Amino acid sequence: MDLYYLDELAARIKVNRDKVARLRQELVDLDARMRDKAIDQEFARIIGYHYEDEDIESMRARMNSEIDALEESVKNDMEAFMNGLISQDLILPIDPKPVTDTNGNGRGGGSKIVYRYRDNAVFTNFVVLLSTLMSKATVKDVTFMQDGIAIDAVDEREAKYKFVNSIREMQRIIARKVTSIITTG
């Protein structure tokens, strides 16, 4: 289990959520057309015009079916994403040698130790979904960024310690969320 897979899941979740939102809006529009359908039929009858009846009910059923399938896919992908995050086999592909940011961006004006993802990888979707799940992209002193992980620490040893502890804390938080979703959902 690695961030490449989790980023792919996060992207798929985002795309499917966007599709669900679009379909829900189309359903609202379809409902408006259904309200207008009665008037259109009466108008056509009065003017002696043959009204071409669209099969709005089958369109609605198709959209609802598609929404259900997409929501099931999102649910399954979200479960896989969260289980991937709490997996003991989770791999975060960062370079072992960090970069020190001494611009005073760390806690108390100190420094940040920044580990960049290997091969200049960027995990935009992962960071966005993690931020949504955690209500932020920071766990204790560790901030997940698209291109790396920043740790509020004065040296590499402290950074490694905080990194490991923060990953464990993140996994505990996510595990509680998985448990609550399973028991309530």
- Tens of pLDDT along the chain (185 residues)? 889 999 999 999 999 999 999 999 999 988 887 777 778 778 878 888 876 666 777 888 899 999 999 999 999 999 999 999 999 999 999 999 998 775 644 444 568 999 999 999 999 999 999 998 888 778 888 999 999 999 999 999 999 999 999 999 999 988 888 776 655 55
What does the alpha-carbon distance between residue 42 and residue 53 come to, in Å, rounded to a whole number?
Answer: 12
What does the alpha-carbon distance between residue 113 and residue 94 come to, in Å, rounded to a whole number?
Answer: 12
What does the alpha-carbon distance between residue 179 and residue 55 come to, in Å, rounded to a whole number?
Answer: 43
Other beta carbons within 10 Å of 182: 9
Amino acid identity for residue 35 in this structure: R
pTM of the model: 0.78
Predicted local confidence at residue 40, as pLDDT? 79
Amino acid identity for residue 94 in this structure: I
Indicate the length of the chain as a whole number: 185
Predicted local confidence at residue 103, as pLDDT? 60
Predicted local confidence at residue 26, as pLDDT? 92
Residue 151 phi/psi, 5-degree rounding, is: -130, 130
